[in-house]
């Protein structure tokens, strides 16, 4: 019984014939419209042409209602490459630019950009898993449902300070907190309201101290002191940080976000709308999510010794589309793109990071594997 779901995955893949995993199987996750050979790169709004705006407005937002582009849009098409930004300044869709790197040769992968160069390898994975495996291990819809119930940690919490409160501000400070689940299974917590009253727990190892005597939250380890607001759109860039996906924390090497800041005229609280987040992680980090994702979905951990692991490894590694540690021809990183909404929140208690016991025996954990080498 424990291997039932995993064997079902194998059956779906085998009965699917000998198609390469990239190609026909990813057709439904390709850009929904043809593109020209050149494109206007999808990039965050540029900084405003002002200086020394100043200000003392402060707001704190929690990311919720994420969308990786894995669900069908209004046209009934899955289009993950409409999410995110052009992270490598290259447009490979259609007859566009040649890619800066390619997935490992053994995968036969060739992931495409969006029509404006958007990069979203993780979105391609999520959009294609149902057709390949016959089930959704993780989806935007499931993540949002669990977040609303407090069962999953949100992607992140941002605290904006030094803001003028006006349409344009050339410099604001943004702290990035790494949150925990509000109401994790088997533990006491709270059901989030997303109305500005939630005191959301954050990881104590990702802040620089403790709350002040007046209740002021500590600075986050990750800060952008050169963020800005242009036409009420906040843009901030960050370096390496753990980021949760289904309560599984993986290392993101860098990311950028942009979100429209809106102030409720009744409550006077700030919120965020029409947000975009784009990030890069190592392809090996995404591969390491495999056992946790399978357990999250089915209660069965997938280890390198499982007979279907080679197929799953190819599925994950073939969407590598970025360079993170290598200057060679092979991509060793995977992009992530999503849209989001953001609600007002209060930085809550500082708690230790959650841990997940390993599912696999030593030597058989995908965390120890690499996309640079084919399966054994």
Does 38 map to a domain?
Answer: no
Does 15 map to a domain?
Answer: no
Q: Is the pLDDT of residue 16 over 50?
A: no
Q: Is the pLDDT of residue 235 over 80?
A: yes
- The residue behind tokens 């016959």 is 134
Does 37 map to a domain?
Answer: no
Residues in the chain: 376
Q: Are 81 and 111 in contact (CB under 8 A)?
A: no
Does 88 map to a domain?
Answer: yes
Select, from the ranges 1-15, 185-199, 211-225, 280-294, the one with the highest average predicted confidence (pLDDT).
Answer: 211-225
Query: What separation, in Å, do the N-terminal and C-terminal C-alpha atoms of the chain show?
Result: 26
pLDDT of residue 298: 62
Q: Where are the beta strands (DSSP E) in the chain?
A: 57-67, 157-163, 169-177, 199-203, 222-230, 233-238, 241-245, 248-263, 270-282, 333-344, 346-351
Q: Using CA atoms, how far apart are residues 276 and 255, in angstroms rounded to an integer?
A: 11
Structural domain boundaries enclosing 364: 50-368
- Enter the DSSP assignment of 21: T
Q: Which residues, 6 or more positions from 246, have their beta carbon under 8 angstroms from its beta carbon? A: 138, 143, 146, 152, 292, 293, 296
pLDDT band at 293 (very low <50, low <70, confident <90, very high): confident
pTM: 0.88
Query: Phi, psi at residue 261, to the nearest 5°?
Result: -90, 125
Mean predicted confidence (pLDDT) in 31-45 = 65
Q: Which residues, 6 or more positions from 177, have their beta carbon under 8 angstroms from its beta carbon? A: 156, 157, 158, 159, 202, 203, 206, 207, 220, 347
Mean predicted confidence (pLDDT) in 78-96 = 88
Q: Are 309 and 359 in contact (CB under 8 A)?
A: no
Q: Using CA atoms, how far apart are residues 315 and 222, in angstroms rounded to an integer?
A: 32
Q: Where are the beta strands (DSSP E) in 180-247?
A: 199-203, 222-230, 233-238, 241-245
Q: Which residues, 6 or more positions from 373, have their beta carbon under 8 angstroms from its beta carbon? A: 104, 106
Q: Which residues, 6 or more positions from 293, have their beta carbon under 8 angstroms from its beta carbon? A: 137, 138, 246, 248
Query: What is the DSSP annotation of 235-272?
Result: EEEE--EEEEETTEEEEEEEEEEEEEEEE-TTT--EEE
- Partners of 297 in beta bridges: none
Span 343-354, pLDDT tens digits: 999 999 999 998
Does 314 map to a domain?
Answer: yes
pLDDT of residue 297: 60
3-state SS class at 131:
helix
Q: Is the pLDDT of residue 208 over 70?
A: yes
pLDDT of residue 302: 84
pLDDT of residue 301: 73
pLDDT of residue 24: 32
Tally of structural domains, the chain: 1
Span 170-204, pLDDT tens digits: 999 999 999 999 998 767 899 999 999 999 999 99
Span 90-116, pLDDT tens digits: 988 877 788 999 999 999 998 889 999
Q: Which residues, 6 or more positions from 348, have their beta carbon under 8 angstroms from its beta carbon? A: 198, 199, 200, 201, 202
pLDDT of residue 38: 58
pLDDT of residue 8: 38
Mean predicted confidence (pLDDT) in 297-314 = 84
Does 138 map to a domain?
Answer: yes
Q: Which residues, 6 or more positions from 127, have their beta carbon under 8 angstroms from its beta carbon? A: 28, 29, 68, 69, 70, 78, 79, 80
Does 29 map to a domain?
Answer: no
- Partners of 234 in beta bridges: 229, 259
Both tokens assigned to 140: 């935007």
Span 269-279, pLDDT tens digits: 999 999 999 99
Does 319 map to a domain?
Answer: yes
């Amino acid at each position: 019984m424990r291997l039932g779901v995993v064997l079902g995955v194998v059956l779906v893949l085998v009965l699917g014939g000998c198609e390469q995993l990239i190609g026909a199987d990813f057709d439904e996750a390709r850009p929904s419209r043809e593109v020209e050979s050149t494109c206007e790169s999808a990039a965050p709004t540029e900084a405003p042409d002002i200086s020394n705006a100043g200000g003392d407005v402060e707001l704190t937002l929690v990311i919720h209602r994420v969308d990786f582009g894995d669900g069908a849009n209004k046209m009934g098409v899955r289009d993950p490459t409409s999410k995110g930004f052009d992270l490598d300044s290259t447009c490979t869709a259609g007859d566009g630019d040649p890619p800066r790197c390619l997935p490992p040769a053994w995968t036969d992968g060739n992931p495409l950009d969006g029509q404006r160069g958007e990069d979203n390898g993780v979105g391609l994975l999520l959009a294609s898993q149902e057709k390949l495996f016959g089930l959704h291990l993780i989806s935007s819809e499931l993540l949002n449902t669990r977040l609303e119930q407090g069962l999953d940690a949100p992607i992140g919490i941002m605290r904006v300070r030094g803001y003028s409160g006006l349409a344009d501000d050339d410099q604001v400070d943004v702290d990035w907190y790494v949150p925990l689940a509000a109401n994790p299974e088997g533990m006491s917590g709270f059901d989030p309201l997303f109305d500005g009253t939630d005191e959301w727990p954050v990881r104590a190892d990702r802040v620089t101290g403790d709350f002040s005597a007046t209740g002021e939250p500590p600075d986050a380890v990750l800060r952008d002191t050169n963020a800005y607001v242009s036409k009420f759109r906040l843009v901030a860039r960050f370096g390496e940080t753990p980021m949760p996906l289904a309560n599984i924390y993986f290392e993101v090497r860098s990311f950028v976000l942009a979100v429209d800041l809106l102030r409720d005229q009744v409550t006077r609280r700030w919120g965020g709308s029409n947000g975009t987040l784009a990030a890069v992680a190592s392809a090996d980090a995404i591969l390491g999510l495999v056992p946790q994702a399978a357990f999250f979905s089915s209660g069965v951990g997938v280890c390198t010794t499982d007979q279907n692991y080679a197929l799953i490894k190819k599925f994950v590694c073939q969407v590598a589309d970025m360079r993170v540690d290598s200057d060679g021809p092979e991509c060793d990183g995977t992009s992530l793109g999503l849209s989001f909404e953001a609600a007002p929140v209060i930085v809550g208690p500082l708690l230790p990071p959650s841990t997940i016991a390993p599912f696999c025996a030593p030597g058989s954990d995908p965390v120890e594997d690499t996309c640079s080498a084919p399966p054994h």
